[in-house]
Amino acid sequence: MAKQQFAQGKIRNIGIIAHIDAGKTTTTEGILYRTGIKHKIGAVHEGETTTDWMDQERERGITIVSAAVSCYWKDHQINIIDTPGHIDFTVEVERSLRVLDGAVVVFDGKMGVESQSETVWRQADKYNVPRICLINKINQTGGDFYMSLESIHKRLSKRAFPIHLPIGFEQDINGVVDLVTMKSYTYDEFTDKELKIGDIPEDMQDKVKKYRSLLIENAVAEDETMLEKYLEVGEEGLTEDEIRHAIRSAVLSGDFFVVSGGDARGVIVEKLLDMVNDFLPSPDDRGSTWGTHPKTGDKIERKPSADEPFSALAFKIATDTFVGKLAYFRVYSGKVTSGSYIQNSSTGQKERVGRIVRMQADKREDVDEVRSGDIAAIVGLKGTTTGDTLCDQSDPIILESISFPEPPVSIAIEPKTKADQEKMSMALQRLAEEDPTFRVSVDDETGQTIISGMGELHLEILVDRMKREFKVEANIGAPQVAYRETIRRDDVEAQGKFIRQSGGRGQYGDVWLRLSQNEQGEGFEFINSIKGGVVPQEYIKPVEEGIKEAMSNGVVAGYPVVDVKVELYDGSYHDVDSSEMAFKAAGSIGFKEAMKQAKPTLLEPVMKVVVVTPEEFMGDVIGDLNSKRGRVESMEDLQPGIKEITAFVPLAEMFGYTTNLRSMTQGRASSSMELDHYADVPGNVAQAIVAEQQ
């Protein structure tokens, strides 16, 4: 079965996304068991799951890296990516959604929509990924399908409609009513081999009628032909296939979501698999992919067909103990065979395709060829990193890459022994290749190696991986905040002049720069306004390089400069003495001079912090957040007696917060935080930071 080549219309590339602990990995396990890939459902808490295969994942019971698995259900191939829920690993969700066609969003039926559910929902919106929803754990104490549905309506979308209604409540749940087939699907034990088909329970008739009407009425509204027929014959006049077709069209629009519920470990997962086949898009449904020509910049269309030139996006690099470097890629057009040569159009390098493997999490199955619409991994690509485009050598294209946030937390790291020194730099290089939100740099003044990541847990896991996978022992410092610098004044002009006379040929570079603020998050913009060749063309690029070099070390406290526009508008040169080096130095001098006059300021990362706490501790939690320079944004009732507090707090105040929160609330509160924005550091705090740096 696994060797069969599936038509594109029969392929589903889906992600399982959710808040931490909602049951993503368990859902994946349930799917693998029901599709015959596994003979037993692995339990997360016992460390037996397929997609959580790293030691750290099994010990902590969390997903850290997204894992890819392929399975087969009713003549469809389903490629699944199980993504992490913890915000520190949000990059894994981001890059997975970039290459997936559809997603299953899992909710904890006891909690409804949680903070991280909102984050992954927004990420799916960003990439316009159609979704279906599964409310998990409704058969546990406190599980409530309708409460969770209400929270989806309130916090995510009013356009979410049940397609299955649970039969029973909490531990008594034993199946669902399908609102399309109008049949009940029940089991005696959730571990049953198959579902029993029967009639709708008498006491559910009214509820079923109400929700079926809502589902059909809203689904047909997306399709004019179906709407006309519906108005003519009513819902009773529509066939099951017509209803399914209407729901599918609505889901594919990206603004209509069908909702199911149940125990993701159980036989009810078969209904979820049917939903994936019936309603989530195939690569054909997602249509053409657009990119640009590497040299001309012209727009190019690639249709999702095996007959088109080959194009694919590398969305993840992983180091495998047995085979070395693995590049996961999604094919958008054409096909690729093992042993062939392809182009990495992002770097301009030619790459040889060694082995192509279909991944079953950490296990591999060799395949000779991968076609448009499929996801697989290539062994042995040398210069490929996350976000690179792979394509046909004779027909190059660059696809839209993946953007990643800047890491806000840094720590100093040093090897314990001389023998660890060389191994450490190799390990850090490998880990940085795998994870685009992990950065390694060397502090020029102290010579220390600094590693930066998305949070304390992120860095802790990476140091742990270094120890286990690369056998490197290291000492780490206390976490530091990755501050930034910017300016608060526009149209500041300054001259950068570099002149050296040292016998023989001198050096001469002279530029005038105009410095202005850029929108937050827009980064650096260079504008060349030179007229009449007062600065020759070949010196423009060196000026820009000199400015970028100066930006890596700001004038307030030596932090990188962000969100500035620099216009090169005048200058002069010398026929004999001018050189690229002189103009690079002039650009650097001019930028530093202009920045000093442009009201430079220090920026700090501000985190969006969400705390879920029993009501009795609410006063203490809010008081504590206020004492950390926090601003409480909202307080909501999540459930009776449980409050959700959202606040914005500077990262500098949040180190070790999880431990403090536990002791403050007798271990009953939980929190999550993500980088929201950068803000000006208050004057007194800025002075202390500058003093520290001196």
| pLDDT for res 8 | 67
Residue 325 pLDDT: 77
pLDDT tens-place string over residues 169-215: 888 888 899 999 999 998 888 777 788 899 999 999 999 999 999 99
3-class SS string, 490-558: CCEEEEEEEEECCCCCCEEEEEEEEEEECCCCCCEEEEECCCCCCCCHHHHHHHHHHHHHHHCCCCCCC
CA distance 177 to 184: 4
pLDDT score recorded for residue 47: 41
166 by DSSP, 3-state: which? strand
- Percent pLDDT > 70 in the chain is 90
Query: pLDDT tens, 629-665?
Result: 999 999 988 778 888 899 999 988 988 887 888 888 8
pLDDT of 56 reads 44
pLDDT 10s digits, 43-102: 444 444 444 334 443 444 433 334 567 788 888 888 887 665 445 555 667 667 778 899
**pLDDT value, residue 445:** 64
pLDDT in tens, 375-431: 888 888 888 887 889 999 899 999 887 777 778 788 888 888 888 888 888 888 888
Residues 597-625: tens digit of each pLDDT: 999 999 999 989 988 888 999 999 999 99
Q: How confident is the model at residue 327 (pLDDT cuts 50, 70, 90)?
A: confident
**Res. 229: pLDDT tops 60:** yes
Q: What pTM, to 2 d.p., does this model score? A: 0.71
pLDDT digits (tens, 9 = 90+) for 126-172: 888 999 999 998 888 888 999 999 999 998 999 999 999 999 888 88
Residues 292-317: tens digit of each pLDDT: 988 888 899 999 888 999 999 988 77
**What does the alpha-carbon distance between residue 477 and residue 118 come to, in Å, rounded to a whole number?**
33
Residue 324: is its pLDDT beyond 80?
Answer: no
Rounded to whole angstroms, the Cα distance separating 502 from 479 reads: 46
Give the 3-state secondary structure of residue 55. Answer: helix
Tell me the β-bridge partners of 312: 331, 390
CA distances from 126 to 91, 328, 440, 450 (A): 14, 22, 28, 32
Least confident stretch, 56-60, 359-363, 571-575: 56-60
Question: What pLDDT is recorded for position 526?
Answer: 95
* Structural domains of the chain, with CATH: 8-285 (3.40.50.300), 310-399 (2.40.30.10), 409-482 (3.30.70.870), 485-598 (3.30.230.10), 603-693 (3.30.70.240)
Q: What is the mean pLDDT of residues 491-517?
A: 89
Give me the torsion for CA of 224, 227, 232, 238, rounded to 10°: 120
pLDDT given for residue 48 in this prediction: 42
Place of tokens 């009810």: 268
Closest CA to 91 of 66, 115, 55, 116: 66
pLDDT at position 83: 64
Inter-helix orientation angle 115-126/90-99, to 10°: 30
- pLDDT tens readout for residues 3-32: 456 666 788 988 888 877 777 777 877 888
| Alpha-carbon span 93 to 90, nearest angstrom | 5
Using the predicted structure, report yes or no on whether residue 239 has a pLDDT greater than 60: yes
Report whether pLDDT(505) > 80: no
The first and second tokens of residue 287, run together, are 């249509």
- Is the pLDDT reported for residue 38 higher than 90? no
